[in-house]
Amino acid sequence: MTTATIVGGGVIGGGWAARFLLNGWNVRVFDPDPESERKIGEVLDNARRSLPGTSDTEMPQEGSLTFHDTIAEAVAGATWIQESVPERLEMKHKVYAEIQAHCAENAIIGSSTSGFKPSELQEHAPRPGQIMVAHPFNPVYLMPLIELVPTAQNSADIIAQAKATISGLGMYPLHVRKEIDAHIADRFMEAVWREALWLVKDGVATTEEIDESIRMGFGIRWAQMGLFDTFRVAGGEAGMKHFMEQFGPCLKWPWTRLMDVPEFNDELVDLIAGQSDEQSGHIEIREMERIRDDNLVAMMRALKGQNWGAGALMNTHDVKLSKEAGMVRKAADIVDLSQPIVTGRRAVPVDWLDYNGHMNESRYLQAFSEATDRLMEIVGCDQDYIATGGSYFTAETHIRNIDEATLGERIEVRTRVLNGEGKKMHIWSEMYAGEKLLATGEQVLIHVSLETRKPSVPSAEITANLAMIAEAQSILPAPDGVGRYVGAPR
């Protein structure tokens, strides 16, 4: 198992630790703060609650987390070393000197800096080609963007290795090819921040009104489409050119005060802080973090359904995780056909819970439905086959809820083929948490022609695969509850 070292265990360092740890890496932490273990533990609690909810497949088992008294001990043998110490260049240089004195020469040293350029970080370093900016966004365990900023000192190989590592964590490495103060994204945020300060100072809007203008308006649009695509759509059928012609002259109008920054004095600080406290001071910070995380998970899961933006990235990551977890996609890959086939593995996400604090009944149906889709794919009824005009429609489903599934619990669905003759497919699925049976799902599906929308005979490949699996599994005892009607005594 690969190892990452986190130097500096604050909010950002803790987020990095969680991202690596929950993706199966061993993580070592160095931070002289005596409270670092507690602080990172609290960040991890939030990450364990939210990150698995972004995935529709089983995530790796957590790696080990250890805390170390020296940088030398923490970096020995590490593949990736992430520096997240305070934004003081002299301190960073001292940290790099200590890291490079003890780390492997082929380890990557990434910096979470939001302002320093990589050439500044590399100054005086014995091996500058190891060091680059890997700037994340908070919370690191959820937000996918990493601004990867190298210099000419960094070889093409180490840049490619860094990109591969970041992608392997389910994140998006944005290669910033020309170093610039504050990189890319923070420059946008700084511009909005400066304008917001003036709006508050001039009495145009309160902090709450400004936040509402973002989260109820352009923030949602930007979250899923970015800046230029949003403006392109605003141009209508004529596209970006029309938008530029229409709104370009506005750049000369006094719409913003971005070139003029208000004096950052105590009066302005008190004004901003007071309004912000009134806006959300009644909510504890950890609760605010959970609200933020839940909202981000819900938005990103919605984007997954559209295979768009960050959602498309996570779908790609799910395919990778599924392969690494050994999930089969073809009948020929099944080692033992006589046993139930694992058709689903995942953690219970926060948006699957109901008011009782356990998995909503509709999500049992969703989990079994996704398991059925996986079985269809295994026997040959995949997207390519469906495109030819054949598929299965569900005719009947019976679900028994036997035990509770709770937030973050890892569930596994195991499926049997009871009958696969002719146009009908009769299957039985069981959902487990470990060896605890949570629910059973019995389904009858009918093969149909998508052209006529009527029952039809499946392909020879599907028929043969279903028959092969059903015959192999016929040696198993009949499932407890099969054929049971609603209300029948247990």
| Residue 213 CB partners (closer than 8 Å, separation 6+) | 205
pLDDT band at 370 (very low <50, low <70, confident <90, very high): very high
pLDDT band at 248 (very low <50, low <70, confident <90, very high): low
Residue 22 scores a pLDDT above 90 = yes
Cis peptide before 139 (omega within 30 of 0): yes
CB 429 within 8 A of CB 371: yes
Higher-pLDDT residue of 476, 235: 476
449-468 pLDDT per residue, tens? 999 999 999 999 999 999 99
Strand partners, 108: 80
Share of the chain above pLDDT 70, in %: 97
Q: How far is residue 48 from each of residues 43, 133, 166, measured CA to CA in Å?
A: 9, 26, 19
Looking at 3.10.129.10, 3.30.450.20, 3.40.50.720, 3.20.20.300, the CATH number of the domain 328-473 comes to 3.10.129.10
pLDDT band at 250 (very low <50, low <70, confident <90, very high): low
Instruction: Say how far apart CA 77 and CA 26 lie, in whole Å.
Output: 11
83-127 pLDDT per residue, tens? 999 999 999 999 999 999 999 999 999 999 998 999 999 999 999
CB 301 within 8 A of CB 56: no
**DSSP calls for 12-57:** HHHHHHHHHHHTT-EEEEE---TTHHHHHHHHHHHHHHHGGGG-SS
Position 247 scores a pLDDT of 66
Instruction: Say how far apart CA 9 and CA 490 lie, in whole Å.
Output: 53
CB atoms closer than 10 angstroms to residue 18: 27
Backbone φ and ψ of 144, nearest 5°:
-85, -20
Nearest C-alpha neighbor of 4 from the set 41, 43, 35, 30 = 30
Residue 219 scores a pLDDT above 70 = yes
125-137 pLDDT per residue, tens? 999 999 999 999 9
10 labeled part of a ligand binding site: yes
- b/e map 94-131, b = 16+ CB within 10 Å: ebbebbbeebeeebbbbbbbbebbbbbbbeebeebbbb
Instruction: Provide the whole-model pTM.
Output: 0.85
Share of the chain above pLDDT 90, in %: 73
Looking at 3.30.1330.60, 3.40.50.2000, 3.50.30.10, 1.10.1040.10, the CATH number of the domain 187-282 comes to 1.10.1040.10
13 labeled part of a ligand binding site: yes
Question: Any idea what DSSP says for residue 3?
Answer: E
pLDDT band at 227 (very low <50, low <70, confident <90, very high): confident
Position 23 scores a pLDDT of 96
CB atoms closer than 10 angstroms to residue 42: 12
Instruction: Say how far apart CA 382 and CA 465 lie, in whole Å.
Output: 13
395-419 pLDDT per residue, tens? 999 999 999 999 999 999 999 999 9
Residue 39 scores a pLDDT above 70 = yes
Instruction: Say how far apart CA 374 and CA 380 lie, in whole Å.
Output: 10
Residue 255 scores a pLDDT above 70 = no
9 labeled part of a ligand binding site: yes
pLDDT band at 253 (very low <50, low <70, confident <90, very high): low
Was domain 3-175 assigned CATH 3.40.50.720? Answer: yes
Query: Which sequence spans correspond to the domains of the chain?
Result: 3-175, 187-282, 328-473
pLDDT band at 224 (very low <50, low <70, confident <90, very high): confident
Instruction: Say how far apart CA 167 and CA 163 lie, in whole Å.
Output: 6
